Amino acid sequence: MLASLVLACAQASQPAEAAHPAEAVNPARAANATQAASRSVQLEAPVGLSARIGDVVLEGSELEVAPLASDAPLVVRITRCAPHGDAFRYDFELVALEPGLHDVASVLRRKDNGPLGDPAALGAPKLLAVATLAEGRLTPNSPEPRESPRLGGYTTTLWLGGAAWLVGLALLLALGRRKRAAEAAAARPATLAEKLEPLVRRAAAGELGREERAALERGLVEYWSRRLGLDAERPEAVLPKLRAHPDSGPLLRGLEVWLHAPGPHAIDVGALLAPYRELAADALELGTRAH
């Protein structure tokens, strides 16, 4: 009886932890989780701007970025990965698309498809995204209306310069041709047509005096008589032949019409003086100088 009582007292005095060994905490695992949580770095950047962090050592097998949804609030890119003992060393580039605190571990997975474990215990960096818009605003201000910028630049300047150069060259060539034509005209001897033209115009307008008209008619008769070989014939026989000739007749008949019907007459100076275009100005002698 006394032995049974002593055995019962001994069982009652044993610790409760020995009766439940499965609930005991792994000290090494708890220490790793606490160490990882203490290594976690928090960055801060405006929404939409990238933040970079390097030499982040994360335990376990190699990690990669899991496929992101189109509306994912955080975009992560691993720019470098290198072994570091039993862990790996990473460089991250982070861009938050929404304000708030974002955990990089939420978008990571292991390449060997192994379990990631507790994201909080992984020690991945966090990004605090700061909104740059006023509270309640979802979009930036619309840009103020401004005058459209002038099109063009270096290429347009080259084109304009080339066009100006071509225009200048064309003007120089045109002026050169005009100058050469004027010099050639000045160097060329005057023709009989040029000498007679002012007299013919004045005669057709009724402005030619009697003496000038008589001198012009006499000079024409003498010239055409010599040229057509009519010097030996009587004057009364020469005049009808000169009036009927296709070269001498038009101007002589015109002088007679203008004499008997004074006043302005419409004339074709070019046709009247055509026979005299190739003749030198001194081919016909006028008895009086034209005023």
Q: Dihedral angle at the C-alpha atoms of 189, 193, 198, 203, nearest 10 degrees?
A: 160
Q: How many whole angstroms separate alpha carbon 106 and alpha carbon 66? A: 9
Q: What is the mean pLDDT of residues 198-221?
A: 85
Q: How far apart are CA 101 and CA 282, in angstroms?
A: 111
Per CATH, domain 37-130 is 1.10.10: no
Mean pLDDT, to the nearest integer, of 18-40? 44
- Is the pLDDT confidence value at 32 over 70? no
Domain boundaries, the chain: 37-130, 192-283
Closest of 83, 86, 89, 73 to residue 124, by C-alpha: 89
- Alpha-helical runs (H) found in the chain: 2-12, 27-39, 119-122, 154-187, 192-204, 210-227, 235-244, 249-260, 269-272
Mean pLDDT of the chain: 77
Distance CA 155, CA 17 (A): 87
Res 105 pLDDT > 50 = yes
The HSE-up count of residue 192 (CA atoms within 13 Å, CB side) is 18
pLDDT value at position 9? 39
Indicate if the pLDDT at residue 137 is higher than 80: no
Higher pLDDT, 209 or 114: 114
pLDDT for position 286: 72
pTM: 0.37
What integer pLDDT is reported at residue 108 of this predicted model? 92
At residue 29, the pLDDT reads 44
Confidence of residue 128 (pLDDT cuts 50, 70, 90): confident
The answer, yes or no, to whether residue 177 has pLDDT greater than 80, is: yes
Least confident segment among 34-38, 125-129, 275-279: 34-38
Average of per-residue pLDDT across 226-254: 85
Measured distance CA(113)–CA(90) in Å, rounded: 18
The number of C-alpha atoms within 13 Å of 117 and in the hemisphere containing its C-beta is 14
| Residue 91, pLDDT score | 95
CA distance 124 to 200: 112
What are the beta bridge partners of residue 50? Answer: 95
* Residue 28: band (very low, low, confident or very high) from pLDDT cuts 50, 70, 90: very low
Average pLDDT over residues 158-173: 89
Structure tokens at 265: 């007459």
Query: Is a pLDDT exceeding 50 seen at residue 23?
Result: no
Kindly state the DSSP code that residue 99 receives in the 8-state scheme.
S
Percent of the chain with pLDDT over 90: 18
Give how far the C-alpha of residue 227 lies from the chain's centroid of Cα atoms, to the nearest Å: 72
Assess whether pLDDT exceeds 80 at residue 136.
no
Query: Which of the listed ranges 1-5, 113-117, 202-206, 285-289 does the model predict with the highest average pLDDT?
Result: 113-117
Mean pLDDT is highest, among 119-133, 212-226, 261-275, for 212-226
Asked if 242 and 226 count as a contact pair (C-beta separation under 8 A), the reply is no
